[in-house]
Structure 1
Amino acid sequence: MRVLASSAAVVLAALMGIGPSAAQGISDNVVKIGVLTDMSGQFSHESGEGSVTAVRMAIEDFGGKVLDKPIELIVADHQNKPDVASGKAREWYDAEKVDMIANLINSGIALSVALIAKDKNKVAIVNGSGSSRITGDGCTPNSIHYAYDTYALAKGTGSALVKKGGTSWYFLTADYAFGHALEADTSAIVKGLGGQVTGAVRYPIAALDQSSFLLQAQASKAKVVALAGSGTVFINAMKSAHEFGIDKGGQTLAGLLVWITDIEALGLENAQGLVLTNGFYWDRDDETRAWSKRFFERMKRMPHMGDAGDYSSTMHYLKAIQAAGTDDAKAVMAKMRETPINDFFAKGGRIREDGRMVHDMYVYQVKKPEESKGKWDYYKLLEIIPAAEAFRPLSESTCPLVKKG
C-alpha cells in the first residue's frame, strides 16, 4: 500500500506540472544561508560586516520565514585563503546543511566555491568578486554572478578614458584571478578602440608598498596608469601615486574597481576626477536613497554595489524558493532565471544561462571637493550602459552551458 501511495503521489505531482524536487518542500525544515566573506582582511571594507548586514536585512524584510520554515544565517571569515574557504564551504554544505552561500569576495575563492556548489547540488551567489571567468569557463548551473564583473568594469571605464584621449595604458595588476581578468578584459577594450597597452607589472595581493611598481608605471609615460586591483592595497597605491606626482605629471590614474568606501578613505582631495564604473550608487534615485538610509542606520556608512547586490540577490533567492515551493537547488535556480529582477538595485534584470545577472551599469566621475554637498556625496553620472551592452555577449562566452549557433 505504501508503494502504491508513493507512486500515486508522483503521478499526481506530474499531472499538476511539478517534478519530484518541487514537491519535496523545505529540506531539513530550515533554509540556511551562509555568508562566506573577508571579515578582517584587506577586502573587509568591501564585504565583511556590510555583506552580513545586507543579507540579514533581506531575511528580516522577507519575514524571517519561507514556506512557513525559518531562515537561518551563519557567517564565516575565509581569511582570503582558498583552502580555508573550500573547507568551510564543504563543511557548510555537508554538515551544516547550508542551502546557499553568499558574497564570496576574492575571485579565486568564488571560482572554487562555485564548483563545490555544483558538486553538492547547492547554490552559490557571488557579489563581492569580479572575475568574468565566474560566468566564463568557470560557470556552473548552481552559481550566479550578480552585481558586476571585470568585463563590465572594463567596458565602462576603459571606453570612457580612451574616448577622452587615454590611448596608451600601463597596468598595475593584483596577481590573482580578479586582477588577471580585469587586466585582460580592459586590455581587450582598449585595443579594440585603437589604443595600446605599453606594459604591465603584477604585485602580490598582500603587498603593502607599491612604490617600485608605481615608479615603473610613471617611467612608462603611458597616458593612463590603470590600477587593476582592490582593497586597502588600491587605497595605498592611490595615495602613493599622488605623492609621486603621477597625476600632476600628465598621466591619468584609473581605478578599475572602485568602491565608495575607497573614496571615503581617500578623501575627495585625492580621489577627485577619478572615472569609475559601478552597478549601484546610493544617491541614484528615491528607491536607492530609501534603502541606503536603512543600511546607513545599521552600518554608519553608505552601501556600495556589493552590499546592495547581497541584499537584492538574497531577496531574489528567497522569492524563488517561495515560488518553486522547495529549496531544491535545481528548482530554485530555474525559478531565479525565469523571474525578472525589479527592485532598487536593478530594473529589468535577468539571470542568463551562464549565471550572469545582466542589468544597467553606470560610469561615474568623482566630484571635486567644492562640488560635493557633504559626506558621501561623491559621484556625478557620466553615462548609463544598458544591460544588453554592459556584459560580455553570449556569442563570445566560453561557458559550456551556453548553446552556440
Structure 2
Amino acid sequence: KGSIITGVTTDGGPVRGQALSDIGLSSTTIEIQYTTGDVQSTYVSCQVGGLPVPNTAGCLKATGTLTIAGAGTASYSYDPLMDNDNARTIQGFSTGADAKMRTCPNCPYPDFLKFFQYYGRSDYADNWITASFDGTATSFSFGNANFGSGIASERALRIETIEKGTAYMSVWMYVLREFEDALDDCQDGCIDCNDDPVHAWDEGVAFYTGSSHGTQLNSVEPGYFIYSLANKRCVDFKTCGPNGNSVQGNSYVNRRLFTLFDTGKTQLQGGQCAAARETKVAISKLMAVPLVQGVLRYAYITGPQNNRDPKSIGEGAVFAASVLPIVHACSQVDAQTIFDNMKVSSTATDFASVKTAFESHYNCMGITCEDVGGYYDEALQEYYPGANPCVTTSSSNTISRSTGGFIMSIVASLVLYSIL
C-alpha cells in the first residue's frame, strides 16, 4: 500500500499513481489512485464517474505493463470506462450519508440528526435532487415536494431546486461532516499526532469555499458553494464588511467563519479536542445564516413583491428545504409555517409570518438578528417596507431595528486541496 505505480495513458503519455491497498504475490486486482495536481483545471486527466461525458485521456490504457516501485513490473488489462471510478461525487455526499453521518462510530452527528429526523431518510438531498431531475415527488416525513405537478413541474423551477439543492443541501451538510471527521480523529493533548484531523478540517473548509475563489482571503470572486452564497446574501441584507453593516466586501459571516476555521485548525494541531468541538458548533450555527437570508429574500419576492414566477418559487423552496430541519428542531409549528409559505406548491406567501417564524427562534438556532440583517434595497439605500432587521435585546427577545452590527478582528488562513 502506498507504493508508487507508473504506466502509460490512453493518449500514450506517462501516468503516475499509488497503490490503495497491499499487493500480494497472488493478487489478481490492483487498486490505484491517480496522482493529482494543484491546478484545478488540470488536476487529473482521468475523470470517470460523476460526469455525463467521461474524460479518459489521462487514464491507464486498457492493456499494458505497470512499474511498481520496489516490486518490479506487472502486466494488466481492464476496462477504462468501467473500472475507473470517481471515488467522491456530490451525489455520494448524500447517498453515503447514512454510513458516514448516522451509523458510524461517534454518530449520529448532531447537525445531521436534525435533518434525518425531519426528512426521515439519510439521503434526503439526493432524494430532493433526483425528484427534481425526474419530475416526481420526494418521499419525506416532513417537507415533501412534488416536482411533477403544477408550477413545480416547470423547468425553470426545477433548475433552481437542482442547482441549489446540490450546493446547499448536499455539500452544506458534507462540510460539517468533514469537521466532525476531524474531531473524531483528534487525540487530546497530542501535538504531533493530529495531521489527519487537520487534513479533514481543511477539506471541510475547501468544500465550504469551492475552488473558484482562489487563495486570497476575503475574495469576492463568484463561485458556487456556501462561501459565494454568503457574499451574495450579505449584499441583499446589508451584512457585508468587517462590521457587518455594509453592502460591499466579503460577508461578515465569511469573515467570522474563517476566523473560526483557523481557530479550529490550531486547536486540532494542539490536541485541544474539546475546544475544537466548541468551535465546530459555532461554525455550524453561522453556516445557517445565508440559508435563512435566502428564504427571507424569496419570501419577500414571492410575497409583497408578488413575483411568483417558477424561478423565484423554486429558489424560495430550496432555501427553505436547506434550513427547515434546524427550525423544526426548535419548533415544529413554526417550521410548518415556513414550509406552507415556501413550498413549491404554495399559492401565496405571507412574508411577515415567515419572518416572525424565523426570528422567534434565532436564539434557539444560535444566531442573532444582527447576523441575518434585513432585506435591503441598495438602490434606495433603505430596507424594504416590512423587512427591517430585528434587534437582539436579550438572550430570547428581538425587536425591530434599522441599523446595527458588530466589530471583530479577522485573522484567518485557508488551505485548499484538490481531491480525487
| TM-score, length-scaled by structure 2 | 0.26
Q: Considering Cα pairs closer than 8 Å and 6+ residues apart, tell me whether 1 or 2 has the greater RCO.
A: 1
User: TM-score, normalising length from structure 1?
Assistant: 0.27
Larger Cα-atom Rg: 2
